[in-house]
C-alpha cells in the first residue's frame, strides 16, 4: 500500500490525518496540541478575520451569507453591550444623551433650549443661586460626586435644600446630610448628627427609642386632657353670694390644699435637643487651590444660614465643611483663606462674571473626592443631581 502524501497529513506533526482547520489561516491540524503548536509557531490567534477578501463566487453561497451575517450581528451585539455598560451599569451618560449623539443633535440648539426645559425646582435653584452670587461647578455625568448630589428646592421653605458634605476632623469621619438654606448652620449640623446617630443604632436600640417616644407622647396627651378638664370645671363652677376662697369674718383668702391639688400639674418638659455644634468650629473648603499648598478653609459663623455663608462663593456640586473642636488648633495640612490670599496675592472670589447655573466639564470638578439620606418631605422636585 502506497504511503499517503505529506500534503494530506497534519501540517505540524506529518503523522496523522488532519481533523481541524484554523479559522484564520486555514492550516490543517490533527489534534489540540498540534493546533496550539501552530498558533505558537505562526503567531496566529485562531480568530476568523471577517474582513478577509472573498471571491465573488463564494459570496452567493450559504457560507458566504453566514459570513456576512455573523459579521454584522457581532457589531450589533458589541454596540448593545457597550450601551448597557455606559448607561445602566456605569451611569456615565443618559439614554437621551446617547440618542442625541447618534442623531447628531446640534449642541447650539440644545444650549438655547436648555433654559426652557428646566424643571420648576431647577429654575428656582438657578434664580436663587444668581441672587446669592454663588457658582456651582458641576461634575461630569457618572462621577461619584455628581451622583451623591441630591440638592433640591424646598417648596414649603422657599429655599435651597442643600446636600452638605461634613468632615469631622477629630474622628476622621465623613458623612452627607441635608441642610435647609434658611436655617442656621449649627442647627443643621445638630440635626445631621442626630440623624447619623439614629442611622447607626442597632435594632434593639431603635426599638427602645420608639418605645420611649411613644411613652412621652402618651404622657403629653394625658397632661393635655387634664388641662382641658380643669378649664371646663373652672368655667362651669357655680357662682355664690359668698366668696368661696375668702373668710367673711376676717376677709382673708384661704387657699386650701384641696384647691391646690385640683390645679393640674405643669406639662412635662421635653428633653432638650442635643447641641453637637456648641463647642465646634466650622470651615468651608475653598476649591481650585494649588495641590502643592495645604487645603484652604474659610471660617464660617454657625449662627448664620447657608444662604448667607455661600454668598459669592464657589462650590463643587455641594458644599464641603470641616468641623473642628473649639480648642483644637488648625492642623498643618490646612490653612485659612486670608493666609492663602496673602501668600498668593489672589483676590477674594467674586462670582459676578460667572453663571451659577453653568455646567462645567471634567476639568472643573473634583470628581475623585471620596464618598444620601432621605429627601425632605417638602423637597419633592428640582434636584441638581441627575
Task: State pLDDT tens for residues 208-219.
Answer: 777 877 887 888
Dist CA 300 CA 371 (whole Å) = 23
Angstrom distances, CA of residue 258 to CA of 245, 255, 262: 12, 8, 7
Dist CA 227 CA 221 (whole Å) = 10
| 8 Å CB contact between 94 and 386 | yes
Residue 181 has pLDDT above 80, yes or no: yes
Contacts of 119 (CB under 8 A, 6+ apart): 381, 382
Dist CA 45 CA 28 (whole Å) = 15
- Pull the grid cell for residue 227: 388641662
Dist CA 162 CA 252 (whole Å) = 64
The reported pLDDT for the residue numbered 305 is: 93
- Pull the grid cell for residue 359: 455646567
| Average confidence score pLDDT of the chain | 77
Residues written for the chain: 386
Residue 112 has pLDDT above 70, yes or no: no
Torsion of CA 182, 283, 380, 142, to 10 degrees: 160
| 8 Å CB contact between 179 and 192 | yes
- Pull the grid cell for residue 226: 387634664
Nearest Cα neighbor of 339 from 282, 286, 281, 279 is: 286
State the average pLDDT over residues 314-343.
91
Nearest Cα neighbor of 304 from 277, 331, 330 is: 277
Angstrom distances, CA of residue 300 to CA of 72, 101, 190, 218, 340: 61, 44, 15, 41, 16
Q: How many CB atoms lie within 10 A of CB 199?
A: 10
Higher pLDDT, 159 or 215: 159
Model-level pTM?
0.53
The reported pLDDT for the residue numbered 161 is: 94
- In this structure, which CATH number among 3.90.79.10, 3.10.20.90, 3.30.420.270, 3.40.50.150 belongs to the domain 120-196+276-364? 3.10.20.90
Residue 231 DSSP SS3: helix
The reported pLDDT for the residue numbered 119 is: 64
The reported pLDDT for the residue numbered 246 is: 60
Domain borders along the chain are 10-65, 120-196+276-364
Amino acid at each position: 500500500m502506497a504511503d499517503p502524501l505529506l500534503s494530506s497529513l497534519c501540517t505540524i506533526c506529518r503523522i496523522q490525518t488532519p481533523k481541524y482547520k484554523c479559522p484564520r489561516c486555514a492550516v490543517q491540524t490533527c489534534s489540540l496540541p498540534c493546533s496550539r503548536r501552530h498558533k505558537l509557531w505562526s503567531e496566529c490567534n485562531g480568530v476568523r478575520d471577517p474582513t478577509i477578501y472573498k471571491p465573488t463566487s463564494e459570496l452567493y453561497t450559504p457560507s458566504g451569507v453566514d459570513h456576512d451575517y455573523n459579521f454584522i450581528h457581532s457589531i450589533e451585539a458589541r454596540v448593545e453591550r457597550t450601551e448597557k455598560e455606559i448607561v445602566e451599569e456605569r451611569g456615565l451618560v443618559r439614554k437621551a444623551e446617547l440618542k442625541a449623539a447618534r442623531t447628531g443633535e446640534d449642541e447650539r440648539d440644545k444650549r438655547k433650549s436648555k433654559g426652557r426645559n428646566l424643571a420648576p425646582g431647577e429654575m428656582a435653584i438657578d434664580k436663587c443661586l444668581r441672587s446669592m452670587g454663588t457658582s456651582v461647578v458641576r461634575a461630569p455625568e457618572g462621577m461619584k460626586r455628581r451622583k451623591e448630589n441630591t440638592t433640591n428646592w424646598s417648596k414649603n421653605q422657599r429655599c435651597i435644600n442643600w446636600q452638605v458634605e461634613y468632615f469631622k476632623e477629630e474622628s476622621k469621619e465623613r458623612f452627607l446630610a441635608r441642610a435647609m438654606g434658611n436655617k442656621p448652620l449649627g442647627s443643621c449640623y445638630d440635626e445631621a448628627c442626630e440623624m447619623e446617630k439614629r442611622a447607626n443604632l442597632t435594632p434593639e436600640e431603635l426599638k427602645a427609642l420608639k418605645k420611649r417616644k411613644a411613652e412621652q407622647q402618651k404622657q403629653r396627651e394625658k397632661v393635655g386632657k387634664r388641662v382641658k378638664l380643669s378649664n371646663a370645671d373652672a368655667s362651669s363652677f357655680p357662682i355664690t353670694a359668698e366668696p368661696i376662697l375668702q373668710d367673711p369674718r376676717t376677709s382673708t383668702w384661704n387657699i386650701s390644699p384641696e384647691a391646690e391639688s385640683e390645679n393640674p400639674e405643669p406639662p412635662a418638659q421635653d428633653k432638650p435637643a442635643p447641641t453637637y455644634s456648641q463647642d465646634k468650629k466650622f470651615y468651608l473648603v475653598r476649591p481650585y487651590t494649588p495641590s502643592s499648598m495645604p487645603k484652604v478653609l474659610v471660617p464660617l459663623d454657625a449662627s448664620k444660614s447657608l444662604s448667607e455663608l455661600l454668598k459669592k462663593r464657589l462650590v463643587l456640586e455641594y458644599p464641603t465643611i470641616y468641623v473642628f473642636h473649639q480648642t483644637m488648633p488648625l492642623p498643618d495640612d490646612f490653612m485659612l483663606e486670608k493666609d492663602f490670599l496673602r501668600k498668593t496675592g489672589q483676590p477674594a472670589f467674586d462670582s459676578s462674571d460667572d453663571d451659577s447655573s453653568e455646567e462645567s466639564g471634567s476639568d472643573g470638578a473634583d470628581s475623585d473626592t471620596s464618598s444620601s439620606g432621605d429627601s425632605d418631605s417638602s423637597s419633592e422636585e428640582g434636584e441638581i443631581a441627575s
